[in-house]
Structure 1
Amino acid sequence: MTVEIIIVLGLVASAVILFATERLPVDLTALVLMATMLLSGIITPQEAVSGFSNPATITVGAMFVLSAGLFKTGAVNLLGTIMTRLGAVSFWLVLAVMMLTVGVLSAFINNTAAVAIFLPIALGVARDTGTAAGRLLMPLSFASMFGGVCTLIGTSTNILVSSIAGRHGLEPFGMFEMTGLGLIFFGAGSAYMFLIGVRLIPARKGEEDLRKLFGIGDYLTEIILEPEARSVGKVLAESPLLRDLSIRSVEVFRNGRLIEEPGDRIVLQAGDHLKVRCDLENFHKLKDRRGISLRHETGRKAGEDAVLVEAVVARGSTLDGRSLRQARFRSRYGLSALAVRHRGQVMRDDLDTMPLRAGDVLLFEVEENHLDQLWEDKTFVLVSQVGLPVFRKSRMATAVTIVAAVVAAAATGIVPIVAGAIVGCILMVLTRCLTREEAYGAINWQVIFLLGGVITLGTALEKSGAAMLLAGYLVETVGNLGPVALVSAFYLATSLFTEMMSNNATAAMLAPIAIATAESYGVDSRPLLMAIAFAASASFMTPVGYQTNTLIYGPGQFRYADFLRVGTPLNILFWVLATIFIPRFWPF
């Protein structure tokens, strides 16, 4: 074993730990690994930056833009209107149609975007039908993964593995080459969710309506008593404030200090600051009450056209792992959070200093004319029904035609997928389906830098000989059981790694090893690459294994164990199906 192999294997081990624990953002981890390999001389400067010019990286970036074009013209949201109507008919009907619709959409656009669009729709249906939101949201997330494995462009992982195959002189994946097995996964996964999975999802409604589902039926706000307030000079327990309004609890601050006395002994004074908990209806009454000023932490009153907005913290955003104060949330947006649902609990105290995690749900008030700006931001995903942006419906047909043409051109081999996707992005802007600013903003740069970094890790595995060393070990152990056992082993390994770390990082590390293993065993590498592609896009056991799971984690009031309970049998089912059918679709 050479020094280079030892260094690369050490970096791989470090990568697994860092990606799994996310002590650093995943994109930063990838860049640190790339820089380390560059400084150690394992890769050249040209090889270090080759990941950013890789067709997979460019294609994935282009697909973000094409997905945004469909969204901005209202093509995706139109389907949501139909879902809302079906919800009044039957829960099972809307579940079936929603899973089918999201699955089909996810085969051609970014599945995170598809889930983000349907998330508020699912919450509205849950409210109208009296169903626990989680029983719609988890099938929604899983269906997006079912659909994502049906085409080459369904997930960024499929594109990445296909690009790695092409770089090794192998034939890249066809647009619909994965569709046969993908449909089997889709059918089996949907049947499992209908017959078993939905029944395993806890019915955590807790409250009667959607607002209470989010914890906003009883949230915290701060008011200031002005001299003309009717409650000034009155004992808190008998004040008009408590008598006229349904307020859950009150904390009185005077001169910056909390008055720790019973309510029947506190005489309210002008200038007192009161922290009160109340529902949405009484919140609006407070705003209009004479002698009461609503003070947000920004120090300014909310405008008359302000609306209440719920938002999920996005994975890898500036708020993920940081507090509102650390992220300078108030100075950036000019507003403050009213409440947050944190790991299934509603936490309303010390919001500014509490570290937030992906999947946490924030509640804040925002002026209506700023809603579009918030919708564009990648810090969080708005899930409230209010404030949906205005769509360019007149260009809906144009956007759909462009995406269809890109898919058709790639499927028929007229142009490579990367070329078609780039042309499609240009047409989206030229036809005004998107503005240039929206096109740039649609790209998830974290994914781009992650791909740019981890692709070089695969290069280092090959160049150092580490991939061949690991391949030889696999051939000597699992290979004795036959090539089908290798397919099963690669699928299982990819599935387990993906539950702990980035699916793209997992694929970038294992794909070169799969190719080397196939060469050592003397068989076609395509079955092994397909095992990696399918497994890396089917993560059901944890809320962090796939971005759509993270997106629904907070709104669905899920716990970590919920994904283990529902997702583990599904992972096992797909592992068995992959072991049986991959050698049939792609013979050795």
Structure 2
Amino acid sequence: MSVATPATVSALGGVSVDVLVVFAVVLGALVLFVTEWLPIDVTAILIMVVLVVLGDWTQVSTTESLSGFSNKATIAVLAMLILSTGVSRSGLVQIVGRKLSAFAGDSRRRQLAATIGAGGPVSGFINNTPVVAILVPVISDLAHKGKTSPSKLLMPLSFASMLGGMLTLIGTSTNLLASETAARLGAEQGVEGLHAFSMFEFTHLGVVVLAVGSLYLFVVAPRLLPDRVPAEEDYLAEYEMGDYLSEVVVGEHSPIVGKTVREAIDFDRFDADVLGLVRDGERFIEPLGQKVVRAGDTLTIRTDRNTLGDIATVDDLALSGTPEEEAELEPTTQDEQALVEVVIPSGSSLAGETLASATFRQRYDANVLAFRSRGETVHERMDHRQLRVGDTLLVQAPREGIDRLSANQDFIVAHEPEEPDYRTEKIPYAVAIVLGVVLAATVTPFHIVTTALAGVVAMVGTGVLHPSEVYESVDWDVIFLLAGVIPLGIALEQTGAAELLGGLVASTATVLPAIGVLWVFYVFTGVITSVISNNASVVLMIPVAVEAAVEVGSNPFAFVLAVTFAASTAFMTPVGYQTNLFVYGPGGYTFGDFFRVGLPLQLLLSVVTVAGIAVFWGV
């Protein structure tokens, strides 16, 4: 008796089991992306494994599951991240930002113009994610020096970088991935009009979108953005540290007299940190661990009031007061101390770790006073809270330690270092290499991946980048994400799931004109990108959009562009795009701030972009 294979079994309603299984995998992937139960790179690997294990239904072979690693888009994104780091190391973008800061002064309108001008056009030629990482400290300093709340500038910086990313093929990883997906669909399915994007394929539309979006950010956004962060830089007030910082005097008979600071507090029992010690009018900060406590010493302790009472009772400590200003946390010794915000970027080794498991205090010679995570300010049990991309830590460290943090790829420090280590003498080489990559990809038959890799070699050969920095430059979360979602797109196509979804959306053509169906795809892509990765939404939506375009007899390339633009301009949530996460904490924003400012912009650009596509390419 023959047994039917899983691929031949049909489900209810004529939908094959293959399609249902792929939908289940997609749904599972979306849940993991949204909830972040697993790190993004681990989720990507899991997707590849599941597609192969369920290969009888997903129709994805082992070779196809690994094809994301060899995909031109993946390698091109990798190369562009390295090139962007080279430009960053030269200090070019930072210098441009500083020049614009000098122009802005204390005029809020000029500050906003400088922010949009720095973040927008540059993002067309350098991957927009590194651009924002580079400019966050520049714009934060610009805001504080100009007596403006950073909340008024940092979200416009992120949005402007997204708009600028649509000027060229290399502006975002999404563009590169969409280009390769369109080219593959055109070749494999014989869809006329589908091809890889050229370098300036959609620049004219990108200019329109940037202009309209910039006008919105300049005129409308300031009215919608609140002053979440005080213009006067006061981290203690901003992070509501009043109830969590106390000064206590060590009693003559205290059991901690004669012990080192590290031994003084039972950290397993109490959630507390000793941040400073005052003795005979002299304040000490770091290193404190081995300093022996004496009677009469004043200790600055970070903890809540209840825990402080328990510690005072056990250790015979008398409450002295509360530090009210940052200056009171600074030492009188030469080893000056500072408070600074640091953001956890994508690719940081701290993402997924806790302060305890990462041995933060020991590794970085710094104390974490509080941190923000997805809009929540955390003061208690910080050592055991898992850190996520976009979390912002309020750190106390020696000033020289702040400079070390600035040079560390694990952080974005929301202040420029006092003595930045830029390779300004390499600026001509960095500029020439990037222009050469763009020019070669435009006027020669070589693919962007070839010219970008050649640019990487040139960066190292000219000393713009050191060989060891090449590997540090790559955001491996993004690379693994691309490698994982590309075979998921293949499964959608090969099982007929994309065709089924495309047919369902195409059915709206009975009540909507073709341009209306195009608008539906733009809006739906924008919504789904707001909760998952922009790259994942492109891979999932482009095959569906192409099928819908074929069904209604429209231009498939127009539908691909609509999905690409919508996925690259995700304004409505802080998790929709990496650059939003970078400014989430330093701007003090809430989730609702992004929705309030981003939704009108998303709707405005949905009309502008769809109309532009219809005019330039036809529907």
Under TM normalisation by the shorter chain, which class is it?
0.7 to 0.9
Q: C-alpha separation between the residues in 2 aligned to 1:127 and 1:306? A: 19
Q: Give the aligned partner of residue 205 of structure 2.
A: 181
Contact 1:342 1:360 in 2 (8 A): yes
Q: C-alpha separation between the residues in 2 aligned to 1:10 and 1:118? A: 40
Q: Give the aligned partner of residue 126 of structure 1.
A: 143
Contact 1:406 1:420 in 2 (8 A): yes
* Cα distance change, pair 434–357 in 1 and its aligned pair in 2 (3 A): same
Q: C-alpha separation between the residues in 2 aligned to 1:28 and 1:461? A: 21
Determine whether 1:259 maps to 2:312. Answer: yes
* Cα distance change, pair 366–246 in 1 and its aligned pair in 2 (3 A): closer
- For 2:121, which of 67, 79, 104 is the aligned residue? 104
Contact 1:116 1:383 in 2 (8 A): no
Q: C-alpha separation between the residues in 2 aligned to 1:334 and 1:54? A: 41
Q: Give the aligned partner of residue 181 of structure 2.
A: 164
Which stretch shifts more, 308-317 or 198-207?
A: 308-317
Q: C-alpha separation between the residues in 1 aligned to 2:18 and 2:361? A: 48
Contact 1:540 1:571 in 2 (8 A): yes
Tell me how far 1:410 sits from its aligned partner.
1.4
- Aligned residue identity for 2:312: I
Q: C-alpha separation between the residues in 1 aligned to 2:317 and 2:77? A: 60
Q: C-alpha separation between the residues in 1 aligned to 2:432 and 2:355? A: 42
* Cα distance change, pair 6–126 in 1 and its aligned pair in 2 (3 A): same
Q: Give the aligned partner of residue 27 of structure 1.
A: 41
Q: C-alpha separation between the residues in 1 aligned to 2:303 and 2:410? A: 32
Residue deviations 1:250-284, cap 9 Å, x none? 97999x951259xxxx9659xxx999645332222
Q: C-alpha separation between the residues in 1 aligned to 2:399 and 2:148? A: 30
- Aligned residue identity for 2:221: G
Which stretch shifts more, 415-424 or 80-89?
A: 80-89
- Aligned residue identity for 1:534: F
- Aligned residue identity for 1:7: V
Contact 1:309 1:364 in 2 (8 A): yes
Q: Give the aligned partner of residue 297 of structure 1.
A: none
Tell me how far 1:527 sits from its aligned partner.
0.4
Q: Give the aligned partner of residue 291 of structure 1.
A: none
* Cα distance change, pair 64–250 in 1 and its aligned pair in 2 (3 A): closer
Compute the RMSD of aligned alpha carbons: 3.2
Q: C-alpha separation between the residues in 1 aligned to 2:247 and 2:477? A: 37
Determine whether 1:439 maps to 2:470. Answer: yes
* Cα distance change, pair 430–366 in 1 and its aligned pair in 2 (3 A): farther
- Aligned residue identity for 1:8: V
Q: C-alpha separation between the residues in 1 aligned to 2:452 and 2:544? A: 29
Q: C-alpha separation between the residues in 1 aligned to 2:33 and 2:515? A: 29
Determine whether 1:550 maps to 2:581. Answer: yes
Q: C-alpha separation between the residues in 1 aligned to 2:523 and 2:479? A: 26
Tell me how far 1:511 sits from its aligned partner.
1.1
Q: Give the aligned partner of residue 517 of structure 1.
A: 548
Q: Give the aligned partner of residue 270 of structure 2.
A: none
Q: C-alpha separation between the residues in 2 aligned to 1:230 and 1:376? A: 36
Contact 1:217 1:279 in 2 (8 A): no
Q: C-alpha separation between the residues in 1 aligned to 2:137 and 2:247? A: 28
Match of 1:580, SS state, is: helix
Determine whether 1:200 maps to 2:246. Answer: no
Determine whether 1:410 maps to 2:474. Answer: no
Q: Give the aligned partner of residue 381 of structure 2.
A: 350
Q: How many residues align?
A: 556
- For 1:86, which of 103, 116, 138 is the aligned residue? 103
Q: Give the aligned partner of residue 235 of structure 1.
A: none
Q: C-alpha separation between the residues in 1 aligned to 2:374 and 2:28? A: 28
Matches within 5 A, 1:229-378: 229=279, 258-260=311-313, 268=317, 277-285=323-331, 288=333, 304=335, 307-315=338-346, 317-320=348-351, 322-330=353-361, 332-342=363-373, 344=375, 346-366=377-397, 374-378=405-409
Tell me how far 1:560 sits from its aligned partner.
0.9
Match of 1:337, SS state, is: strand
Determine whether 1:383 maps to 2:429. Answer: no
Q: C-alpha separation between the residues in 1 aligned to 2:429 and 2:235? A: 37
Residue deviations 1:54-91, cap 9 Å, x none? 00000000000110111111111111221221232522
Which stretch shifts more, 357-366 or 82-91?
A: 357-366
Residue deviations 1:321-377, cap 9 Å, x none? 553124443454454323324555654443312344443321334456665653454
Tell me how far 1:467 sits from its aligned partner.
1.2
Match of 1:419, SS state, is: helix
* Cα distance change, pair 223–503 in 1 and its aligned pair in 2 (3 A): farther
Q: C-alpha separation between the residues in 2 aligned to 1:455 and 1:252? A: 52
* Cα distance change, pair 369–31 in 1 and its aligned pair in 2 (3 A): same
Contact 1:530 1:582 in 2 (8 A): yes
Q: C-alpha separation between the residues in 2 aligned to 1:58 and 1:388? A: 34
* Cα distance change, pair 15–478 in 1 and its aligned pair in 2 (3 A): farther
Contact 1:214 1:555 in 2 (8 A): no
Match of 1:258, SS state, is: helix
* Cα distance change, pair 388–150 in 1 and its aligned pair in 2 (3 A): farther
Q: C-alpha separation between the residues in 2 aligned to 1:207 and 1:98? A: 16
Match of 1:100, SS state, is: helix
Determine whether 1:36 maps to 2:50. Answer: yes
Contact 1:250 1:275 in 2 (8 A): no
Instruction: Normalising by structure 1, report the TM-score.
Output: 0.86
Q: C-alpha separation between the residues in 2 aligned to 1:570 and 1:462? A: 32
* Cα distance change, pair 492–375 in 1 and its aligned pair in 2 (3 A): same
Q: Give the aligned partner of residue 269 of structure 2.
A: none
Q: C-alpha separation between the residues in 2 aligned to 1:61 and 1:221? A: 47
* Cα distance change, pair 18–521 in 1 and its aligned pair in 2 (3 A): same
